[in-house]
Chain A
Amino acid sequence: MTGHVILPRIGTAAAWRDAARGFLSAGVPPEALRWSDGTGATGLFDTPAEVPAVTREIRVPRSFAGLAQTVVWHSDPARFDLLYRFLWRLRDRPALMQDRGDPGLAQLRRMEKAVRRCQHKMKAFVRFREMGDPSDARRSFAAWFEPTHHTVEPTADFFARRFADMDWRIVTPDVSAVFEGGALRFSVDLPRADLPEDASETLWITYFRNIFNPARLKVKAMTSEMPKKYWHNMPEAAAIPELIAGAPARAREMAEAAPTLPPLRMERVQEAAEAQAARHWEGPQEGFAAALSGCRRCPLHAGATHVVPGEGPSAARLMIVGEQPGDQEDLQGRPFVGPAGQLFDAVAQAAGVAREAVYLTNAVKHFKYVTRGKRRIHQRPTVGEVHHCRWWLEAEIARVRPRVVLALGATAALALTGDGKGVMARRGQIETGRHGGPVMISLHPSHVLRTPDAAAKAELRALLQQDLAAAWKIAEAALV
């Protein structure tokens, strides 16, 4: 004769634990017990078993307690019995819990995994619909769900933690969970009610249809994670067959479509973007030097010693822009101090321009060079480097606001006007710079230095002096 233990459908885990403790302490072997949750048939000769009182301390490994708390929710009618049988064996072999090769434990672990998976899928696939008025202070939602195992009770707390500021109920053919006014309760055999249409559901389906990429169809990957048994309670799943059927044609269409011409607005957009974007560094003057020395806009910083900012009065009327620091400038951190700088000083003096009265700077602030033997040979900066450094140059122009800017050489002309070609043909003339002010083009002093022929050298020097004087005159008179 076996004793029949009937566990309640709500609060099953606690009931099983209490019963198992009682039977174990009384030494009742597993063969003498038949467990059920009251939904199955009763045996002919079964008598309801009385749970004995716990008379001694029962100790089980903590890992078993966790396992049992999950496995009791499995749908297999034999679950209680399997757990008790394993518990019985565990009495004198607590190390059994670590033996993953034991068939009894392996079976329980499999069941545990199935319940956990079912719980996880429930968290994922329950779909609420709004029951009440969206403007209610406490909104109200309901869902119909069909879990594989008895997972509503152990999972309901997850929903209570997540959706605490609204009322909700998850109705299932088994146990249903109802959360109202912050209190959670369970109920058996709650009838399935019709849920009202929900406008957000339409939006969700739109989202599901469009987030799908038809070029990478992987139906098996989908169904292994979202088995078909869940589909009929998920609104978006109705779209799946159609999405699958249409995918190859959509992918082919994309591949075969001829490339189209860019839309007309493209040019406009890009121009506007260029005009809109911050054109130069913006910040308090005190921060300029620090920001400049931290510049990593191009790779030139890596080989340079100093970054070389401009120098001169902060309200200078004339700004003179050279190409980039040279060997000496790089070592000293000041502009126009090398051979070309000395030539410039001489020419400026001859032209009647005081160096202290003008703002001197360079189009590029770091020295670019290659090493030959022990010498650093100057290299002309690329268009990209000039472009990056305009960030600083234009900040200087915006601050000093000179009446005229004198561009020495092609690099300075490129930085200031966007065009560095034909400097000798353009020199001595006034052009409008990218910053909107007047720019006079001239040649670079190093051009004079590099010219071997003495007569040509003198001529170039005279031209430079002439331009410098003209620019100074304009700056002083501010006729433009």
Chain B
Amino acid sequence: MARLTLDQKLAILSDAAKYDASCASSGSTKRDSRDGKGLGSNEGSGICHAYAPDGRCISLLKILMTNFCIYDCSYCINRVSSNVQRARFSVEEVVKLTIEFYRRNYIEGLFLSSGIIRSPDATMADMVRIARKLREEENFRGYIHLKTIPDAAPELIEEAGRLADRLSINVELPTDASVKQHAPEKSPDQIRHAMADVRLRRQAAKERSHTGRRAPRFAPAGQSTQVIVGADGANDATILGQSTRLYGSYGLKRVYYSAFSPIPDASSRLPLVSPPLQREHRLYQADWLLRFYDFGLEEITGVSKGGNLDLEIDPKLAWALANRAQFPVDVNRAERGLLLRVPGFGVKTVNRILGTRRHRRLRYEDLMLMGASLKKARSFIVAQGWSPGALTDSADLRARFAPPPEQLSLF
């Protein structure tokens, strides 16, 4: 076989990496290279340097170190039984690509993942070598996200955490049973142990020693994970239940939901339908409600049938429609928690309402200036000069929001 050029390798190994949804580059330690001795900065908020036509942001150089893999996970394009073309970057090639892309302002940093070659330790050691070279030889101060291999040696994880901003391990599927079925070589137990380990190390790094010295930082941008939606039969309640447990147990920064998307040379064991993008979107909305709006899992998944979220309307609206007794809410009186439950009000809108309310009473028009989505909110609120009247309890309220019914095609 002819040797692949760098361009060909990049094509193969970025194609192989695109099924990882995470591209966040935010929330790490602030640093820059003002001293002239290094390259790069990180200012807290992430930057999306480009967007692909699939609507996903491109913030990091997201590549696999190699797509050779000894595992046979049926949903993965790189599984050992797939006929996809294989390639492998050298350490120097990844470092060069990262630095050259960064200097041209294409990226915020590197997201490095890998197929499992030889053994978990050997793979993880190579990934750590790349991060070390970037940080120590190139003095790179941009963002690094490393995918950790669950059963790699603790010393490697320790070093990875000191070099990288974020570590992640994918739980892949919503239940242990489906992991067993679709990814026979992976162990959900071991994945959880690895996440627990990262959490403990992060905790330890935050504590000062008795002399007041701080331990070296460990993965300051936290850890995240990804779960594939639609490859197995799990419903949304199961998926969100898993996420709640993960957020609670391991202090994850994010759980990414990735609609299972057809892959080239797919395994015959999986449904090759178009990815359930709307479902993915609703899961993210529900995830936000759970984390920032103080909703309980039961409240969100309890209002629809079969434990799945309503695809036609967003979960907050669905909850409001099922709990109309709590509405309308008076924007001039209601407390923060209740305002956050109004469909069409976000955290920012609520903060603005609370800020303005200290000075005067709010009119309907004021809400428009505050960024509220009144198309949704109007049925659920009372403001000066506005009352929804019978609207809140009208039978056809849902129909005002859901897309109109469509005649099925006969052909």
List residues of chain A with CB under 8 Å of any chain B CB: 95, 98-101, 103, 106, 120, 123-130, 139, 141, 143, 158-166, 182, 198, 200-204, 206-222, 225-226, 234, 236, 240, 243-244, 247, 251, 254-255, 257, 259-260, 262-263, 266, 269-270, 272-273, 276-278, 296
- Asked whether any CB of chain A lies closer than 8 Å to the CB of B41, the reply is yes
Taken together as a complex, chains A and B put the C-alpha atoms of A213 and B77 apart, in Å, by: 12
Taken together as a complex, chains A and B put the C-alpha atoms of A130 and B81 apart, in Å, by: 42
Main DSSP-derived SS at the B contact region: loop
- Kindly list chain A residues whose C-beta atoms are within 8 Å of the C-beta of B100: 200, 203
Interface residues of B in 31-62 (CB under 8 A from A): 32-41, 43, 47-58, 61-62
Q: Are B50 and A203 in contact (CB under 8 A)?
A: no
- Asked whether any CB of chain A lies closer than 8 Å to the CB of B210, the reply is no
Taken together as a complex, chains A and B put the C-alpha atoms of A313 and B86 apart, in Å, by: 50
Q: Are B101 and A200 in contact (CB under 8 A)?
A: yes
Q: Are A234 and B275 in contact (CB under 8 A)?
A: no
- Asked whether any CB of chain A lies closer than 8 Å to the CB of B191, the reply is no
Q: Are A124 and B48 in contact (CB under 8 A)?
A: yes
Given A101-B363, A210-B15, are A222 and B55 also a contact pair (CB < 8 Å)? yes
Residue in A141, A208, A217, A254 whose CB lies within 8 Å of B263: A254
Q: Closest CB-CB distance, B26 to chain A, in whole Å?
A: 12
Q: Are B106 and A100 in contact (CB under 8 A)?
A: no
Residue in A128, A158, A207 whose CB lies within 8 Å of B14: A207
Most buried by A among B50, B72, B82, B272: B50
Q: Are B61 and A208 in contact (CB under 8 A)?
A: no
Q: Chain B, 176-198, contact with A by CB distance < 8 Å: what is the 0/1 string? A: 00000000000001000100000
Q: Are A247 and B53 in contact (CB under 8 A)?
A: yes
Given A212-B54, A218-B54, A276-B119, are A263 and B359 also a contact pair (CB < 8 Å)? no
Q: Closest CB-CB distance, B74 to chain A, in whole Å?
A: 11
Q: Are B80 and A213 in contact (CB under 8 A)?
A: no
- Asked whether any CB of chain A lies closer than 8 Å to the CB of B307, the reply is no
- Kindly list chain A residues whose C-beta atoms are within 8 Å of the C-beta of B266: 254, 257, 259
3 cross-chain pairs, A with B, having the tightest CB-CB distances, nearest first: A221-B55, A218-B55, A101-B366
Given A165-B38, A222-B53, are A210 and B11 also a contact pair (CB < 8 Å)? yes
Nearest to B139 among chain A residues (CB) is A165
Chain A binder among B199-207, B236-244, B350-358:
B350-358
Q: Give me 15 A-to-B residue pairs in the complex whose CB atoms sit less than 8 angstroms apart, sorted by A's number.
A: A100-B355, A101-B365, A103-B369, A162-B40, A200-B100, A203-B97, A211-B18, A215-B275, A219-B55, A222-B53, A225-B57, A244-B53, A259-B267, A269-B80, A273-B118
Taken together as a complex, chains A and B put the C-alpha atoms of A191 and B186 apart, in Å, by: 58
Q: Are B81 and A234 in contact (CB under 8 A)?
A: no
Residue in B41, B55, B103 whose CB lies within 8 Å of A216: B55
Q: Give the A-B contact count at a CB cut-off of 8 A.
A: 213
- Kindly list chain B residues whose C-beta atoms are within 8 Å of the C-beta of A236: 50
Residue in A198, A243, A272, A278 whose CB lies within 8 Å of B104: A198
Nearest to A223 among chain B residues (CB) is B51
Nearest to B349 among chain A residues (CB) is A100
Q: Are B36 and A164 in contact (CB under 8 A)?
A: yes
Taken together as a complex, chains A and B put the C-alpha atoms of A158 and B43 apart, in Å, by: 9
Q: Are B34 and A166 in contact (CB under 8 A)?
A: no
- Asked whether any CB of chain A lies closer than 8 Å to the CB of B277, the reply is yes
- Kindly list chain A residues whose C-beta atoms are within 8 Å of the C-beta of B375: none
Q: Are A165 and B104 in contact (CB under 8 A)?
A: no
Interface residues of B in 2-20 (CB under 8 A from A): 6-7, 10-12, 14-15, 17-19
Q: Closest CB-CB distance, B249 to chain A, in whole Å?
A: 15
- Asked whether any CB of chain A lies closer than 8 Å to the CB of B234, the reply is no
- Kindly list chain A residues whose C-beta atoms are within 8 Å of the C-beta of B394: none
Given contacts A126-B105, A164-B35, 10 further A-B contacts (CB under 8 A): A95-B359, A100-B356, A125-B49, A166-B103, A203-B6, A211-B17, A218-B55, A254-B263, A255-B274, A259-B265
Nearest to B50 among chain A residues (CB) is A236
- Kindly list chain A residues whose C-beta atoms are within 8 Å of the C-beta of B189: 296
- Kindly list chain B residues whose C-beta atoms are within 8 Å of the C-beta of A226: 50-51
- Kindly list chain B residues whose C-beta atoms are within 8 Å of the C-beta of A123: 47
Q: Are B193 and A296 in contact (CB under 8 A)?
A: yes
Taken together as a complex, chains A and B put the C-alpha atoms of A65 and B301 apart, in Å, by: 46
- Asked whether any CB of chain A lies closer than 8 Å to the CB of B403, the reply is no
- Kindly list chain B residues whose C-beta atoms are within 8 Å of the C-beta of A296: 189, 193
- Kindly list chain A residues whose C-beta atoms are within 8 Å of the C-beta of B7: 202-203, 206
- Kindly list chain A residues whose C-beta atoms are within 8 Å of the C-beta of B19: 213
Q: Are B50 and A259 in contact (CB under 8 A)?
A: no
Nearest to A299 among chain B residues (CB) is B189
- Asked whether any CB of chain A lies closer than 8 Å to the CB of B370, the reply is yes
Given A103-B369, A165-B38, A296-B193, are A213 and B261 also a contact pair (CB < 8 Å)? yes
Q: Are B18 and A243 in contact (CB under 8 A)?
A: no
- Kindly list chain B residues whose C-beta atoms are within 8 Å of the C-beta of A225: 48, 51, 57
- Kindly list chain A residues whose C-beta atoms are within 8 Å of the C-beta of B61: 207
Nearest to B48 among chain A residues (CB) is A124
Nearest to B104 among chain A residues (CB) is A128
- Asked whether any CB of chain A lies closer than 8 Å to the CB of B309, the reply is no
Q: Closest CB-CB distance, B167 to chain A, in whole Å?
A: 21
- Kindly list chain B residues whose C-beta atoms are within 8 Å of the C-beta of A100: 352, 355-356, 366, 369-370
Given A101-B369, A128-B104, A222-B51, are A208 and B36 also a contact pair (CB < 8 Å)? no
Taken together as a complex, chains A and B put the C-alpha atoms of A328 and B58 apart, in Å, by: 61
Q: Are B265 and A218 in contact (CB under 8 A)?
A: no
Given A213-B54, A216-B261, are A161 and B32 also a contact pair (CB < 8 Å)? yes
- Kindly list chain A residues whose C-beta atoms are within 8 Å of the C-beta of B208: none
Q: Are A141 and B104 in contact (CB under 8 A)?
A: yes
Given A200-B100, A212-B18, A236-B50, are A163 and B262 also a contact pair (CB < 8 Å)? no
- Kindly list chain A residues whose C-beta atoms are within 8 Å of the C-beta of B263: 254
Nearest to A107 among chain B residues (CB) is B369
